[in-house]
Every structure is written in C-alpha cells, then in structure tokens.
C-alpha cells in the first residue's frame, strides 16, 4: 500500500532536517512505496534550499514550491492534490504533532476507518492565550456549524484515498480542511496525543491569521450569522408588542407629550420591519452561497449491486 506524507512549510528552514529524519524512520516499513511531499508556501527564508538539500539525500521527497504565500490550508491542498498514495498522512513541519502516531493511525485504518485524526489531549509550550482562544474557537464553531467538527483537532491526520478524493472534489476557495473532512463523512475516529512544543522557529499563525482562519471556518461552515437578522426581527417584534402595551397604557393613564406614542411605535415597528427584510435577504444570500460552493451532494461509502462492485460513486 502506497503512503503519501504531506507537509506544508512556511519559513521552516530549521525544522526541515529534523522533520525529514523523523519521517524517514516512521516510513521505514514502506520502503519505496512512500513519498514525502514538502510544500514550500512562499517562504522568505531558505526553506526551499532546505527542501532541495533534503531531496538530494532522500529521493522519496517531492518538493513543491508555491509562487507566493497562500496560507496553510492552500499549501496543504497543493500537497494533497499531488499525493499519489492510497493512504495520506498530513502533519505540520514543526514536529508539534508526533509522526510516530502514524503506526497507531494505520492500525485504526486497518480496522476500517477512513479518517483517523489526532486529538490534542494537552498542548505543551503554547501560551495560555493561544490555548484559550483555540478552546473557545472550537466550541463556538461547533455551536454555529451545521456539521459536527471534532473538537481540538488540527489537520494532523491519516486519510484514505476515497476521503481525500472527496475533499479534492470540493472546489471552494476558502478552505477549512478539517471541516471539509468532517463534512465528507465516512467512518472517522480520533486518537489522543500530547501536542509538543515547537522544536524550532516560531508560530506562523499570529493573531491576525488566526482571526482570518476563524472567520473562514465559521463562514465556510455556517450560514447562521446570515440568519441572525431574522431572529433579531422576531425579538424586535416581541418588544414592539410590549412597547405598544406600555405606550397605550401611558397614553391613557398619564398625560404624555403629544406625538410621543406614535413616534415610539413607528420607530420600533420600522426597525423590526427592516430587520425582517434583512433576514429574508440573508436567507437568499445563504442559499446563493451554499450553491456557489458547488460541493457534491453526497458520497457513497458502500454499495450493494450486481453491476458495479467496488465503485465509489458520487454525485456529479
């Protein structure tokens, strides 16, 4: 069985030698039936030189260099598209995710799982801020998202060819890969591991990129924010009714300033009406958005038929 290892690398010149050493040991049993795809995501340091150098020592390396920095998810996509393996293993260059977990992941896949993802039991050497934001992010995302995205998992995972093909079938521009795998379905399982601190270099996810990533994830997997206006419209309607009671009550019982009641009611009624209109627009925009992603409607994981055994069909 052929194995592909895919690693996105941005400014990881110091990480690459150690990474390649660790990976070589891990893929030892595969001999020639393996490849290590290193994607240079428009690095500004000597990452590409490090990849070239590693290639001269390890022929199973495939080096890909993007013309500019496109971000982690796109770099990973480039590597996944190039992968030839029947099983595909993806991890970060900084060795925060232990490559040795591959053995356990393989074991689970042998038992019929299509996706085996790593779940961070503990994150060492990361700031409280990073851990807290990550924690909140995954909970918030799950609240909003229409598919259950596994908590505390990154892109560190082993996937089967058919699941990868499903992902590559999704032509969307904003790619939140771990969510796309969750959406694809098939049998998935998580393995817990301790996330080590970065060995060298520093995080390539500053706050700015993390926010971008969070926005991509939420807008990519939920149209709930668009529906917010509809909900607010109902709240506003409800408040208008209460307001109306109060306004008429005051009008009858006390001497109110002339015009006060009509003004107040008009304001609350029209703001409700505006929210409702926005909500309706939101519903339509949401539909246009979902359509524009042009995702396949479904994938088959199993099929019983006389004519086409073993063919995984999917919708056009």
Residue 161 binds to ligand UDP (criterion: CB under 6 A): no
Residue pointed to by tokens 């703001």: 271
Residue 80 touches which member of ligand UDP, Mg ion, none, C-beta under 5-8 Å by kind: none
Largest CA distance in the chain: 91
What is the spatial distance between Cα 42 and Cα 129, in angstroms, rounded to a whole number?
A: 28
Residue 155 binds to Mg ion (criterion: CB under 5 A): no
The residue count of the chain comes to 316
> Cα–Cα–Cα angle for 309, 312, 316, nearest 5°?
130
Are 193 and 123 spatial neighbours (Cβ–Cβ below 8 Å)? no
What is the spatial distance between Cα 275 and Cα 281, in angstroms, rounded to a whole number?
A: 10
Stretch that binds Mg ion, among 61-69, 91-99, 236-244, 292-300 (CB under 5 A): 91-99
Residue 41 binds to Mg ion (criterion: CB under 5 A): no
Stretch that binds ligand UDP, among 7-15, 24-32, 162-170, 230-238 (CB under 6 A): 7-15
Tokens read off for 298: 């479904």
Residue 35 binds to ligand UDP (criterion: CB under 6 A): no
Residue 8 binds to ligand UDP (criterion: CB under 6 A): yes
| Binding residue for Mg ion, selected from 96, 153, 163, 188, defined by CB under 5 A | 96
* Nearest approach, Cβ of residue 130 and Mg ion (Å): 10
* Nearest approach, Cβ of residue 17 and ligand UDP (Å): 14
Chain CA centroid to CA 124, Å: 22
Residue 175 binds to ligand UDP (criterion: CB under 6 A): no
Residue 236 binds to Mg ion (criterion: CB under 5 A): no
| Binding residue for ligand UDP, selected from 5, 6, 10, 95, defined by CB under 6 A | 10
* Nearest approach, Cβ of residue 44 and ligand UDP (Å): 11
Choose among 86, 12, 24, 99: nearest CA to 55: 24
Q: Count of residues binding Mg ion (CB under 5 A)? A: 3
Q: Count of residues binding ligand UDP (CB under 6 A)? A: 16
* Nearest approach, Cβ of residue 92 and ligand UDP (Å): 4
Backbone angles phi, psi at 3, to 5 degrees: -115, 135
Residue 35 touches which member of Mg ion, ligand UDP, none, C-beta under 5-8 Å by kind: none
What is the spatial distance between Cα 295 and Cα 315, in angstroms, rounded to a whole number?
A: 9
- Mode of pairing for the β-strands spanning 87-90 and 3-9: parallel
Residue partners of 273: CB distance under 8 A and separation at least 6? 233
Residues of this chain that bind Mg ion (CB under 5 A): 92, 94, 96
Residues of this chain that bind ligand UDP (CB under 6 A): 8-10, 12, 41, 69, 71-72, 75, 92-94, 96, 203-205
């Amino acid at each position: 069985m052929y194995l592909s290892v895919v690693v996105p690398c941005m400014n990881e010149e110091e990480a690459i030698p150690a990474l390649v050493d660790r990976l070589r040991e891990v893929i030892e049993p595969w001999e020639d039936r393996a490849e290590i795809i290193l994607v240079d995501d428009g690095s500004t340091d000597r990452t590409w030189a490090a990849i070239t150098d590693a290639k001269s020592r390890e022929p199973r390396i495939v080096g890909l260099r993007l013309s500019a920095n496109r971000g982690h998810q796109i770099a990973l996509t480039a590597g996944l598209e190039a992968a030839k393996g029947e099983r595909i293993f993806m991890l970060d260059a900084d060795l925060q995710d232990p490559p040795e977990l591959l053995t356990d992941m393989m074991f689970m896949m042998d038992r019929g799982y299509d996706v085996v993802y790593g779940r961070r039991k503990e994150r060492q050497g990361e700031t409280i801020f990073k851990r807290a934001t990550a924690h909140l992010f995954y909970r918030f995302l799950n609240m909003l998202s229409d598919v259950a995205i596994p908590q505390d998992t990154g892109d560190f995972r082993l996937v089967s060819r058919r699941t990868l093909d499903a992902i590559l079938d999704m032509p969307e521009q904003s790619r939140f890969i771990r969510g796309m795998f969750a959406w694809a379905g098939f049998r998935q399982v998580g393995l817990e591991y301790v996330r080590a601190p970065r060995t060298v270099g520093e995080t390539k996810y500053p706050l700015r990129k993390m926010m971008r990533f969070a926005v991509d994830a939420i807008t990519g997997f939920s149209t709930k924010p668009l529906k917010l206006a509809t909900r607010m419209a109902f709240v506003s309607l409800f408040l208008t009714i209460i307001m109306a009671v109060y306004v008429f009550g005051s009008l009858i019982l006390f001497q109110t300033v002339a015009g006060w009641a009509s003004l107040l009611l008009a304001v609350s009624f029209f703001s409700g009406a505006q929210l409702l209109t926005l909500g309706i627009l939101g519903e339509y925009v949401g539909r246009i958005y979902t359509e524009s992603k042009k995702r396949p409607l479904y994938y088959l994981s199993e099929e019983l038929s006389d004519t086409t055994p073993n063919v995984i069909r999917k919708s056009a």
